[in-house]
Chains A and B, each alone.
Chain A
Amino acid sequence: MHLASVDYAIIVIYFAFVLGIGFWLRRHMKTSEDFFLSGRSIPGWITGLAFMSANLGALEVMGMAANSAKYGMVINHFYWLGAIPAMCFVGVFMMPFYYGSKARSVPEYLRLRYDEKTRTLNALSFAVMTLLVSGIDLYAMAILFERLLHWPFGASVIASAVVVMAYILLGGLTSSIYNEVLQFFLIVFGFLPMVILGLKAVGGFAGLDSALDRIATHGGFPAGYYDHTWANIWHAGDNALGVNWVGLVLGLGFVLSFGYWCTDFLVVQRALAAKDMAAAQRTPLIATIPKMFFPALVILPGLVAIAYPDVSKMLGDPPNYNYALPAMLARLYPSGLLGIGMTALLASFMSGMAGNVTAFNTVWTYDIYQTHINPRKHDSHYLWMGRMATVVAVVVGVVTAFIVLKFNNLMDYLQLLFSFFNAPLFATFLLGMFWKRTTGHGAFCGLLAGILSAVGHYSLYHFGFIHYSSAMGANFYQAMFAWTTCFVVTILVTFFTAPRKEEELVGLVYSMTARLQTAHLPWYDRPGIIAAGVLGLCAILNLIFW
C-alpha cells in the first residue's frame, strides 16, 4: 500500500481537528464533573452515538471484518444477539437507577445499593480490566502501520498515544465524546464506498453468495457455511466458531452481552453525561439503530475479502484475516479516498483507547483515590488527579500494547477478560436492582466467588483438564459458569445476612422506585415502544439472514 501526499494531508487534518476540539473545550473544564461527566449536559443523540462509538475500536472494526472473513456471517451474532437486546434492556430498565441515583460511576452505584467493599472490589477489577484492554487499540494501529506503511511499531504506538493523551487532558470526557461522534461519521462515510465497490467487484449479493458457496465446498464444508447467521449453530462442530446454540444464546446473548452493555462503565459513562433522564434512557436506544446495521460496514467487507480474488490473494497463504479490511481499502480505494479510509481506521483506534482511558480515570479518581487514599480534598485536586490518571493510563496502555503482541487472537483475549469481570458483575446488578432482599455481604461474596470461579475454570481449561471445541467456546461457557456462581453465592449469603431498611433502597431497586411516567410523551419518545420496535426490526434481520 502506498499513501500519496493527499492521503497524508487528510490524516494530518484529522489530527489537527481532534487536538483543536480539545483546545476549544479546555477552558470549560473547571470542575471534576466537567472533566469526568461532561457536566451532565449533552443531548441524547450525541451520547447515543458516543455510546455505540466508544465500543468501535480496533476489535470492532478491523477485528469483526477479520472474524467474518474467517468464520462467515455467524459473526452477526455479536451484534443482533450479543448487543441489541442488552442495549434495549439497559435503556428501559437500568438507566432509571444509574442516572436517577446520581451515581458518578458504576462502582458508585454499587456503594449506594450495597456497601463500600462491593464498590471497591468492582472498581479495582474494572481498573485492571480497562488497563489490560486499553493497549489493544494501540497494538492494532501500530501493527497496521508497521506492516502496510512500514512505520516502526514503537514509534506508531507512542505517536498515537500522545495524541489520545493530549485531547483527553485538554477536554476530558467531552473531548472524548465529541471525537467518538466525529469518528462515527468518518467510519460510515469512509467505509461505505468500500462496501459498494466490493459488492460490484464480486457481482452483487448473488455473486457473493455463489462465491462463498464455492469457497465453502472447496474447503470441505457444506454450501451455505459462510452466509448464514443461525443455520449452522445447532452443533458446535457445524461452525468454525466451535459453539452450539446453548453456548451462544446463554454465554454470548445473555451473560457476556448483558454483562458488557449493562454494567461496563466504558459505555454507561456516555449515558451518565446526558442532560436529563429522558436523554439518558434514549442513549442506548439511539445507539441500537446504527449498531444493528453496522454488520453491513464490517462483516460484509470481510466476506467480500475472501470472495474477491484480487483481495483474498493479498491476505497471504495461510491467510492472515486481520488484513481483510486494510486489503479491501488498498485494492478498492484510490489516493484521496485511501486517506479517508486510513483516517477512519485511525479514528476508530484512537477513540477506542480514549473510551478506556476516560472510564479508567473516572473510576480511579472517584472510586479509589477519593474514597480510600485522599478524601475530603478540594474539587480542583480531583480534577488534577484525573489528568494524572489519564497520563498513567496512556503510559500503561503503551506497555499493554507490547503485552498484547504475545496473543494471536484479540477477540479471544477480550472475551476472556469479560468472562472474568463483567459476567459475574451482571448477576450482582440483576439481583441488586430487582430483588430488594439482596445484601451487601451477599453481593461482595458472590462477586468475589464469581471472579475466582472464572479464574479456576480458566486454569482447568488452560492446563488441559477440561476441553472445548474452541477458545471462544471456552470463554462463553466460562462466562456462564462465573455468572451462575455469583448468582447462587449471592442468594445463599443473602439469606444468612441482614437486609437494609427498605426506605434506604428508594431509587435504587425496581420494586422500591416509582415508575417513570411516559404516557404524556409521543409514542416515538417512549423508551418501551422504541425498544419493542428495535427488537422487532432486529428479529426481522435475523430471519432475513437466517
Chain B
Amino acid sequence: MSAMGSLDIRWPIGFIFTIYGIILLTYGAASSQGIVVVNNDSLNVDLMWGGAFLIFGLFMGGLAIKASRRSNP
C-alpha cells in the first residue's frame, strides 16, 4: 500500500482544526482575553473564529469518513 493510501490527508487536517476550534471556543467563552477592540467595537474573535475552525475540521473529517466508506464498502 502506498503512503497516500495509508493516510488520507483529510484526517489530520480535520483532526487538528477540530482541536484548534474547541480550544478557541473554550478560551473565547471562558476568558475575556479572546476579545479585541477595533474601531470601538469589542469583538470576541476567538469565539467566532473557533466556530469556523470547528466547522471546517468536522467538514474535513466528514469527507475523510465518506472516502474511507467508499473505498471499504
Contacts and interface: CB of A to CB of B under 8 A. Distances in A.
Contact of B34 (A24, A197, A275, A336): A336
A42 B62 CA distance: 20
Interface in B33-55: 33-36, 38-39, 41, 43, 45-46, 49-50, 52-53
Contacts of A25: 3, 6-7
B36 A334 contact: yes
B33 to A, nearest CB: 4
Interface string A398-427: 000000000000000000000000000000
Interface residues of A, number: 40
Contact of B49 (A178, A193, A201): A193
Contacts of A234: none
Contacts of B19: 13
Interface string A153-177: 0000000000000000001001000
B1 A13 contact: no
Contact of A333 (B15, B41, B45, B52): B45
Interface residues of B, number: 35
Nearest to A185: B13
Nearest to B47: A336
A38 B4 CA distance: 8
A336 B3 CA distance: 33
A171 B9 CA distance: 13
B4 A189 contact: no
Contacts of B39: 200-201, 203
Interface of B is mostly: helix
A41 B2 contact: yes
Kindly name the residue among B2, B4, B15, B35 whose own CB sees the greatest number of chain A CB atoms within 10 A. Answer: B4
Contacts of A24: 6-7
B36 A28 contact: no
A201 B38 contact: yes
Contacts, number: 108
B17 to A, nearest CB: 7
Kindly name the residue among B16, B19, B33, B41 whose own CB sees the greatest number of chain A CB atoms within 10 A. Answer: B16
A337 B49 contact: yes
A46 B56 contact: no
B23 A6 contact: yes
B23 A9 contact: yes
Nearest to A201: B38
Interface string A459-476: 000000000000000000
B60 to A, nearest CB: 8
A6 B24 CA distance: 9
What 4 A-B pairs come out closest when comparing CB atoms?
A41-B2, A28-B3, A336-B46, A174-B3
Interface of B: 1-7, 9, 12-13, 15-17, 19-20, 23-24, 27-28, 31, 33-36, 38-39, 41, 43, 45-46, 49-50, 52-53, 56
Given A39-B4, A189-B17, A189-B49, 17 more contacts: A10-B20, A13-B19, A17-B16, A28-B6, A34-B3, A38-B2, A38-B4, A181-B9, A182-B12, A185-B17, A193-B45, A333-B45, A334-B35, A335-B27, A336-B28, A336-B33, A337-B49
